Amino acid sequence: MTHGEYDGAFGGEPGGTGGTAGPTWGEPAGEGRGDPFDEALALANAAAPVRVRPETGAGAGAEPTTVRVPYATGETAAPRSSTPGGGGDVPYTPDDPFSLDDPAACGNSHASSSSSSTSGTYRSPGHSSPSAPSGPEDPPAPTASGPRPTPAALPWHIARDIAERAVPGPPAPETSALGDALGRTLAAPLTALTDLPSFDTSAMDGWAVSGPGPWRLDHPAGAPESGPPPGILAGHAPTEVLHDGHALPIATGARIPPGATAVLRSEHGEVRELSDGGRRLYAPQPAPPGQDIRPRGQECRRGDQLLPAGALVTPAVLGLAAAAGYDELTAYRRPRAEVLVLGDELLDHGLPQDGRIRDALGPMLAPWLHALGVEAATPRHLADDADTLYAAVAESTADVVITTGGTASGPVDHVHPTLRRLGAEVLVDGVAVRPGHPMLLARLAPHRHLVGLPGNPLAAVSGLVTLAEPLLRTLAARPPAAPYRTPLAAPVHGHPQDTRLVPVAYREDERHGLTAAPLHFHGPAMLRGIAAADALAVVPPGGAERGTELELLELPWSAGWSPVSSTGWTAPGGA
């Protein structure tokens, strides 16, 4: 299929994105403080210009050029064709900043607002923590419209680092019933409460034998005199000693009787009737001592560490813990997230009509959060109303409130004004990443945060993996995914200054082995690419050639993380 998706994600004003005209946010840049975290936070609130242009690569040395992107224009670039199938995207041409899917949304940086006003209500990290919001009635709602001061977009890796370190660690661990621990992180090592197996166990159906054969087949004590000997079944606790030259039928998993030296599989032995009425067991091969016996403690001894603290409780871990004698586990509780979907244009069912579209984020975010080990209540769709948003955020009891939409500076983009009204401390206000650069992270109270995802659906995914995932990972005490790099199956063009996150699918390549093939339909308003993707490739400014090894962010369902369903948490005010 030939199609021409091109996100055009790099028109606009690169200099603006880089924060060349950053206003004062209350505290100077943290030069010389030594702590990269403080410095990164200072970047987010920098008074001084912050440049994110790469030192090397395609954008190196180039002066930022101002490219005006018509916001509402009749001009529409004709779809370009690109190579069918595989991947790679259309090269960036600086004189044509138009996106085929949405020129305005991506071309023009949110940083292009040139207001030099300062924000007295944003608090820099150096200020004392804001108190928890008191209620929807105070203070008054500021208006959403009008230019917003230009924050400095943070480099993508720094923004992720800030999100990961926005909380010092997880809340205190809890002890829960075994099943409730699924998807959580162990707060203490899993130590065997018993030997495993806890007794010498038959590994096969057959006969427990003592010494070399042939063996006289005993009739177990208490068994009926007629009929085949029932033998020792799993769950029995044989006490009678099996003497040398004797055998007893035994089932897989049954406890080996005292005196037995081996197990002979049923298919390896033959029973013959004797003239005295007894029966004898013959085997063509000898039964060496220990054959088909699982010795007590073979897997572990009581007190052995089976898993370290910090291990993710997967279904397999639940099984191991049960086998090792656990009824409860002590693990970090799942962080609670509340998703607030903003936008009067959104429909929750049926076909898009009359300028209204389906909400693509509500159905996507809750299960995505579950896959990250987060307890996410059913997303709430809020009207585009400042007071409604203020009340919902102020009253939320979630560890992390995740909003979608309303991050830009349109007439009904209420997220920034609401944060100012709440006295929130903005930790990240814009990230040098495409799509999704208007994403934000704010501290509402010492242990409550808000992640503002842009409304364009792939931009929201970008915000989710950039800011929400690292924050929630720290809250859940989950380790970061192991760094993963894979060669590109096709070239990917880059933004001059910003990182790009591009959906990719794994493909076998004759030359490079397993590769990441860039997918089409990666425009900020599109989900078609990500829905077919295994991962997001982190494309550095300037782009990458075929064969270049790029960092990949695997999607939760391809990385093998355990999905966890929501377990009955209902957000206050939630349906």
Ligand X SMILES: Nc1nc2c(c(=O)[nH]1)N[C@H]1C(S)=C(S)[C@@H](COP(=O)(O)OP(=O)(O)OC[C@H]3O[C@@H](n4cnc5c(N)ncnc54)[C@H](O)[C@@H]3O)O[C@H]1N2
Residues in contact with ligand MOO by the rule CB under 6 A? 105-106, 434-438, 454, 456, 459, 524
Closer CB to ligand MOO, 26 or 524, in the complex: 524
Distance between CA atoms of residues 527 and 172, nearest Å? 37
Residues 543 and 492 sit within 8 Å (Cβ to Cβ): yes
How would DSSP label each residue in 521-532?
--STT--HHHHT
Q: Output 404 or 562, the one with its CB closest to ligand X.
A: 404
Least distance between ligand MOO and beta carbon 435 (Å): 3
CB of 458 to ligand X, least distance (A): 9
Instruction: Respond yes or no on whether the N-terminal peptide bond of residue 28 is cis (omega within 30° of 0).
Output: no
Nearest residue (CB) to ligand MOO, 519 versus 564: 519
Does residue 487 belong to the site contacting ligand X (CB under 6 A)?
A: no
- Tokens coding 204: 């096969």
Q: Which does 408 bind (CB under 5 to 8 A by kind): ligand X, ligand MOO, none?
A: ligand X
Q: Which residues pair with 259 in a beta bridge?
A: none
Angle, helices 386-395 vs 415-422, to 10°: value is 50
Which of ligand X, ligand MOO, none is residue 385 near (CB under 5 to 8 Å by kind)?
Answer: none
Query: What is the rounded distance in angstroms from the CA atom of residue 98 to the CA atom of residue 106?
Result: 9
365 CB neighbour count, 10 Å cutoff:
23
Distance of closest approach, residue 437 Cβ to ligand MOO, in angstroms: 5
* Contacting range for ligand X; rule: CB under 6 A; set: 114-122, 200-208, 454-462, 565-573: 454-462
Min. distance of Cβ 341 from ligand X in angstroms? 5
According to the binding rule CB under 6 A, does residue 451 interact with ligand X? no
CA-CA distance, 75 to 56, in Å (whole number)?
A: 34
Please choose, out of 105-113, 134-142, 230-238, 479-487, the segment that lies near ligand X by the rule CB under 6 A: 105-113
Binding-site partner at residue 406 among ligand X, ligand MOO, none, CB < 5 to 8 Å by type: ligand X
| Nearest in space to 200 (alpha carbons), one of 290, 319, 269 | 290
Q: Which is nearer to ligand MOO, 416 or 421 (CB)?
A: 416
User: By C-beta, is 106 or 366 nearer to ligand X?
Assistant: 106
Using alpha carbons, select from 497, 482, 478 the residue that is nearest to residue 535: 482
Q: SS3 for 391?
A: helix
> Could you tell me how many residues make up the chain?
575
**Residue 459: count of CB within 10 angstroms of its CB:** 28
Query: Cβ of residue 359: shortest distance to ligand X, in angstroms?
Result: 4
Candidates 29, 459, 465, 501; binder of ligand X (CB under 6 A) is 459
Q: What are phi and psi of 333, to 5 degrees?
A: -70, 155
Cβ nearer to ligand X, comparing 251 with 357: 357
Residues making contact with ligand X (CB under 6 A): 105-106, 108-110, 112, 341, 343, 345-346, 357, 359-361, 404-410, 413, 437-438, 454-457, 459, 524
